[in-house]
Amino acid sequence: MKFIKPLFYLLTTVLILSSCCQNAQEPKEALSIKNAFKENFYIGAALSASQIEESDTLVSSLIKKEFNSITAENMMKSMHIHPSKDTFNFELPDKFVALGEKNNMFIHGHTLIWHSQLAPFMTQIIDSTEMVSFMQNHINTIVGRYKGKINSWDVVNEALNDDGTLRNSVFLDALGEEFLALAFKLAADADPEAELFYNDYSMTNPAKREGAIKLIKKLQESGVKVDGIGMQGHWNLETPSIEEIEKSILDYASLGVKVAITELDITVIPSPWNLQGADVNQNFEGSEFMNPYPESLPDSIQTKLAKRYADIFKLFLKHQDKISRVTFWGVNDGQSWKNDWPIKGRTNYPLLFDREFKPKKAYYNILALKEEKNKSE
């Protein structure tokens, strides 16, 4: 029995060591989508004005728990931040940036040059000199104020038509396509460290993709800095296909820029544009066909949505080296702009959290996907 004593010592040492290491371990991180993907890409959300104001503590803690990047849904668009020629309104944008800083989040600025939600005075600018001085003032003032604080910017938003040609806008009218390079140059001068993005929707559509590639190549050839392409990701249950999304990620990444999925939401109710030979008009408002789930989402559609989100995230994981950020366009279904667009007053279910801010099946599917990946590695 002479080996009993050494065995006893060995066991005691193992026990002491394991208990000491356990104490030294970090507390287990909370289960959340941002933690699940922390080694892959940022998980962001677009915040409404009341979310920026932190008016509901439960919602604020959900945002902190689940997301490590934020975008202001509306508050940095020209009509809000620069409402008249010599007035800037920084109250909410300042709170937005402070919120991101307080929580160590990646802060994304949306958006500097966009044809929509324009401040009314901007529609009066027709002359090129006046437009250049507007852009200088707008971009220098806003990007300059948040230099070193806002990590990336949508410098130009939605400059393309669906066929890949340049969209008519106050900017194109006044300056021709030069407005694009000017915007990127001014943004880079105002904050050389900020990442600069071109952002648009339907970026998986082949004609638009070709247009976007041409646009970025031209900017690169002209010597301005472009760091990334934002694919908005306002998608449906069936379209775009995973293949189309994949091809777009690969094609954009091959330009040597980052790809971000910037405005992800998946609509589960019909789009008027899917209707063949029917006019898109007010007649559809409130019709049962266009608003099929006014009370709750049937289980079968909930499951379909969850599968769609899992398929999409599986693809994002496959190309994690190319994707820097995945941002949802809103926190929960009740808040989503998809309840009011393209038809007002419908009940849509496009996000990961329901109207009570509870995680949906899609949320758990995405987390499970990550666990599977971890196990297989």
Q: Which residues are catalytic?
A: 263
- Given the complex with ligand XIL, which of 304 and 338 has the nearer CB atom? 338
215-244: contacts with ligand XIL (CB under 6 A): 232
Token digits for 159? 């400059």
Q: Which is nearer to ligand XIL, 168 or 374 (CB)?
A: 168
- Smallest CA-to-CA distance from 67 within 99, 94, 98 is with 99
Q: How far is CA 188 from the centre of its chain?
A: 21
Minimal distance, residue 153 CB to ligand XIL, in Å = 13
Binding letters toward ligand XIL, positions 259-298, x by CB under 6 A: ----x-----------------------------------
For the bound state, the minimum distance from the C-beta of residue 173 to ligand XIL, rounded and expressed in Å, comes to 20
Q: Does position 337 bind ligand XIL by CB under 6 A?
A: yes
Cα–Cα distance, 336 to 305 (Å, whole number): 16
Least Cβ distance, residue 293 to ligand XIL (angstroms): 21
Rounded CA-CA distance 203/261 in Å is: 10
Query: For residues 232 and 267, which CB has a smaller minimum distance to ligand XIL in the complex?
Result: 232
Return the residues of window 64-123 that contact ligand XIL according to CB under 6 A: 73-74
Contact 51, 59 (CB under 8 A): yes
Whether the Cβ atoms of residue 227 and residue 258 lie closer than 8 Å to each other: yes
Q: How far is the CB of 211 from ligand XIL (least distance, A)?
A: 17
CB of 231 to ligand XIL, least distance (A): 11
Q: Which is nearer to ligand XIL, 32 or 335 (CB)?
A: 335
Q: How many residues bind ligand XIL (CB under 6 A)?
A: 7
**Residue type (1 letter), 285:** E
Q: Smallest distance from the beta carbon of 269 to ligand XIL, in angstroms?
A: 16
Judged by beta carbon, residue 32 or residue 201, the one nearer ligand XIL is 201
CB closer to ligand XIL out of 351 and 369: 351
Please identify which residue in 157, 327, 332, 365 interacts with ligand XIL, judged by CB under 6 A.
Answer: 157
Nearest residue to ligand XIL on Cβ basis: 337
Q: Which residues bind ligand XIL (CB under 6 A)?
A: 73-74, 157, 201, 232, 263, 337
